[in-house]
Structure 1
Amino acid sequence: MRKLRMGMIGGGMGSFIGDVHRKAAAIDGMIELVCGAFSSTAEKSLASGKALLLPEDRCYGSFEEMILREKALPETLRMDFVAIVTPNHMHFAPAKMALENGFHVVCDKPMTLTIEEAKILEQLVQSTGLLFALTHNYPGSPMVKQAKAMVENRDIGTIRKVQVQYLQGWMATAVEDADNKQAAWRVDPSKSGVGGALGDIGTHAHNLLEYITGMQVKELSADLGRVGKGRILDDDANILIRMENGAKGTMSLSQIAVGEENNFAIRIYGEKGSLEWHQENPNELITRWLDQPKKIFTPNGHGLYPQALAASRIPSGHPEGYLEAFANVYKNFAIHLNAFLTKTTIKTPDYPTVSDGIRGVQFIHAAVESDQQNAAWINM
């Protein structure tokens, strides 16, 4: 198979996540960047494209121009899919236009600002038959795959309790007032949406919980904090959770927890055992049991399920982390897209889809609604 051709919207000079997407997409040699609308201005987009060694005629001044001009190219040249790596408020319009013009989509999270927009994208995916991937990268970790497989195989029995935390400290001061572009748009409701930390890191926590357990959060009760002076959006959250099987749990989110870098961790407690995974030490899955000693699984180690082995690229004892997990989203999407293009029937690969996008947007809005009602229980 040839390499798949990727176009990018956003991710120009100074972008953090755009560079992450490009590196992750390139790791397995299945995807190449061929074009982009990298900025809100044509000059910056062209400069970014040149820095990425793209031809000038494939560097576009807007996403509208890129989609229409790429569509007009021969099938042997045009992009196969578009990666949307913009701030939150710029996800919906380019995703909608790409789908309407026959292009597959990879989109950063949260998928849209509103539930109504999310459902429009779902309807478009269903009516066009095109592929849509959402870049929740943490499920790409081999040890997260192992945790999910252990739950599916009932190794730990019926789930009784869940705990998930995502703690950062980078917004403990008013960084948005210090020319920090990443902070500035995240505290702006017109760009971030109704959720602050909820949309930025809370959607990751919610997605990972539903991914590993294979269950949906049925209800939540949220107490949101706005600690930073003058901030409208949440930068801290404590949430009670009820899962669809009756299990209960907690979610703790913060971007003002001084000293924390990216303390994302999850614990799943079943009737026979428990699972614990930490993003800052992603190569270990800690398991504890009623009737046997604690055991720690590692990539390519003994006792792994095929799902975990398939997600690992390097020999035992070598660290795999954030980029490799991110790359697994792109790899599995590329496998599916190659099958789509060659009309090959395969089992749907393991990557977040438009349905996960809807769940994430519903989570944000449910938590905000709960907080507005003094932490009332809200159905999801």
Structure 2
Amino acid sequence: MPKKLRLGIVGGGGDSLIGILHRVASQINDNYEIVAAVFTPDFENNMGFAQEIDMPLNRVYRDFDIFVNEEMQLPESERIEVCAVLTPNFLHFPMALKLLENGFHVICEKPMTTSLQEAKALQEAHKEAGTVFALTHTYTGYPMVRQMREMIKAGALGKIHKVDAAYYQGWVNTVIHHEAKRTAVWRLDPEKAGISSCMGDIGVHAFNMLEYTTGLKVESILSDFNYLYKENTMDIDGTVLVRMGEYVKGVIRASQVATGEENGLTIAIYGDKAAFKWEQENPNFLYMLSDTEPTQVYKPGHAYNSVLSLDGTKLPAGHPEGIFDAMANIYKGAARAIRGQIYNEGEFPTMLDGVRGMNFIEATVESHKKGNVWVNLE
């Protein structure tokens, strides 16, 4: 196996869920070694966290600018090759931009930026850099999501005419009804999260899943948001009608105040021959429905699955795999691309997915503010 890629990390320190997810995922297939980092803005906490995870302290930096500058001073054989950006949304663009401009590969959390304008600027920088950029829409890494994509591509559903994606969470309930609490949460702060909370954080995952699995593009949308309180400027619940063609229509439903819900991402794709249903909280089961045949259940690890699905399966059939494995599949695909190896275009979301995501987020905000009207995506 090729030598491990030297990975840097910015953000994701302390008890950050995203931080744990990325660190574990990067290690699963033995493709990366974490060699440098800025985990938190507080240097003392930064060093303390590095000690907790038993990372050498000589390349734990005070801030991001020092991180990049110091790494660039090292011989090419020692400096980081790729960097994971795990910071709050408003830092994604400036950090990813500087990394690209210095010739590094980038693995970035979503949303890629806080505006479509920034996304397009980053896209140009990426073209100029010629490096690999992977966006961590984690759910595309699940084997059964990949199986769905490949079977739809092969015509298993026939002509698609209806799509339905939902992403329901309830965590904002614990803060939204208390003004002091909600103003302390960065995802409800437009200065840090961008123009959208619910659609920007989870609705964009549902949007990405529709385009990833069907191979179609959302052409236009109509959205309706809920803010619950006048002084709350960030959407925390929303419904979006989507058109993916003249006769391909559907809905994206997203909420952060769906009481009792945990991480309820679901997707259903309906064609004239059959349909698929998949749930993130039960990710090992892909259901294929028909008007004339019994429901079929596809599961990971079986020889009947596609090459892309099997490549993302690490254990024999019957052994559950989850979100760490899904994220690890994205890291694995990015590693192949960085090394110049052959890889499937479905192995990791790209810069284009980031631009599409920001286009979707801005369109939903525009549609709601204009009085719930149809808005075209570019």
What is the Cα deviation at residue 54 of structure 1? 2.1
**Counterpart in the other structure of 1:289:** 290
Q: Which one is further off, 171-180 or 65-74?
A: 171-180
Specify whether residues 301 and 349 from structure 1 end up closer, same or farther in structure 2 by C-alpha distance, changes over 3 A only.
closer
Match for residue 349 of structure 2 among 352, 355, 380: 352
What is the Cα deviation at residue 347 of structure 1? 5.6
Q: Once superposed, what is the RMSD of the aligned Cα atoms? A: 1.9
Q: Which one is further off, 184-193 or 38-47?
A: 38-47
The two structures have a TM-score, normalised by structure 2, of 0.95
Q: Deviations over 1:30-61 (max 9, x none)?
A: 11111101112222222222222222220001
Q: Deviations over 1:102-134 (max 9, x none)?
A: 111000000001111111111111111111000
Q: Please tell me whether the aligned partners of residues 107 and 135 of structure 1 are also in contact (alpha carbons under 8 angstroms).
A: yes
- C-alpha distance in 1 between matches for 2:195 and 2:87: 17
Q: Please tell me whether the aligned partners of residues 143 and 298 of structure 1 are also in contact (alpha carbons under 8 angstroms).
A: yes
SS of residue paired to 1:215: coil
What is the Cα deviation at residue 349 of structure 1? 6.1
**Counterpart in the other structure of 1:224:** 225
Specify whether residues 224 and 324 from structure 1 end up closer, same or farther in structure 2 by C-alpha distance, changes over 3 A only.
same
Q: Calculate percent identity across the aligned residue pairs.
A: 40
Query: Residues 189-338 of structure 1: matches in 2 within 5 Å?
Result: 189-227=190-228, 230-244=231-245, 246-301=247-302, 303-338=304-339
- C-alpha distance in 1 between matches for 2:89 and 2:110: 7
**Counterpart in the other structure of 1:184:** 185
Match for residue 368 of structure 1 among 365, 370, 374: 365
Q: Please tell me whether the aligned partners of residues 284 and 320 of structure 2 are also in contact (alpha carbons under 8 angstroms).
A: yes
Specify whether residues 106 and 180 from structure 1 end up closer, same or farther in structure 2 by C-alpha distance, changes over 3 A only.
farther
Q: Deviations over 1:245-293 (max 9, x none)?
A: 6300011110101111111100000010000000010000000123321
SS of residue paired to 1:220: strand
Give structure 2 stretches of 5+ with no counterpart: none
- C-alpha distance in 2 between matches for 1:182 and 1:36: 29
SS of residue paired to 1:283: coil
Size of the aligned set, in residue pairs, is 376
- Which amino acid in structure 2 is aligned with residue 359 of structure 1? R
- C-alpha distance in 2 between matches for 1:179 and 1:22: 32
Give structure 1 stretches of 5+ with no counterpart: none
SS of residue paired to 1:106: strand
- C-alpha distance in 2 between matches for 1:294 and 1:183: 47
- Which amino acid in structure 1 is aligned with residue 84 of structure 2? A
- Which amino acid in structure 2 is aligned with residue 241 of structure 1? V
- Which amino acid in structure 1 is aligned with residue 301 of structure 2? N
Specify whether residues 178 and 29 from structure 1 end up closer, same or farther in structure 2 by C-alpha distance, changes over 3 A only.
farther
Q: Deviations over 1:86-111 (max 9, x none)?
A: 01001011101001111110000000
Q: Which one is further off, 175-184 or 74-83?
A: 175-184
- C-alpha distance in 2 between matches for 1:313 and 1:367: 38
What is the Cα deviation at residue 360 of structure 1? 0.6
Q: Which one is further off, 299-308 or 252-261?
A: 299-308
Specify whether residues 51 and 181 from structure 1 end up closer, same or farther in structure 2 by C-alpha distance, changes over 3 A only.
farther
Q: Please tell me whether the aligned partners of residues 105 and 133 of structure 2 are also in contact (alpha carbons under 8 angstroms).
A: yes
**Counterpart in the other structure of 1:41:** 42
- Which amino acid in structure 2 is aligned with residue 330 of structure 1? Y
What is the Cα deviation at residue 77 of structure 1? 1.2
**Counterpart in the other structure of 2:123:** 122
SS of residue paired to 2:252: strand
SS of residue paired to 1:119: helix
Q: Please tell me whether the aligned partners of residues 172 and 228 of structure 1 are also in contact (alpha carbons under 8 angstroms).
A: no
Q: Which one is further off, 303-312 or 356-365?
A: 303-312
- C-alpha distance in 1 between matches for 2:78 and 2:183: 34
Q: Deviations over 1:150-196 (max 9, x none)?
A: 11001110100000000011112326959979970000000000001
Q: Which one is further off, 172-181 or 42-51?
A: 172-181
- C-alpha distance in 2 between matches for 1:55 and 1:175: 40
- C-alpha distance in 2 between matches for 1:199 and 1:250: 16
- C-alpha distance in 2 between matches for 1:290 and 1:298: 21
Q: Please tell me whether the aligned partners of residues 175 and 183 of structure 1 are also in contact (alpha carbons under 8 angstroms).
A: no
**Counterpart in the other structure of 1:61:** 62
- C-alpha distance in 1 between matches for 2:358 and 2:323: 23
Is 1:133 matched with 2:134? Answer: yes
- C-alpha distance in 2 between matches for 1:40 and 1:176: 29
What is the Cα deviation at residue 373 of structure 1? 1.1
The two structures have a TM-score, normalised by structure 1, of 0.95
**Counterpart in the other structure of 1:169:** 170
Q: Please tell me whether the aligned partners of residues 277 and 285 of structure 1 are also in contact (alpha carbons under 8 angstroms).
A: yes
Q: Which 4+ residue blocks in structure 1 deviate beyond 4 angstroms?
A: 175-183, 344-349
Q: Please tell me whether the aligned partners of residues 308 and 344 of structure 2 are also in contact (alpha carbons under 8 angstroms).
A: no
Q: Please tell me whether the aligned partners of residues 241 and 250 of structure 1 are also in contact (alpha carbons under 8 angstroms).
A: yes
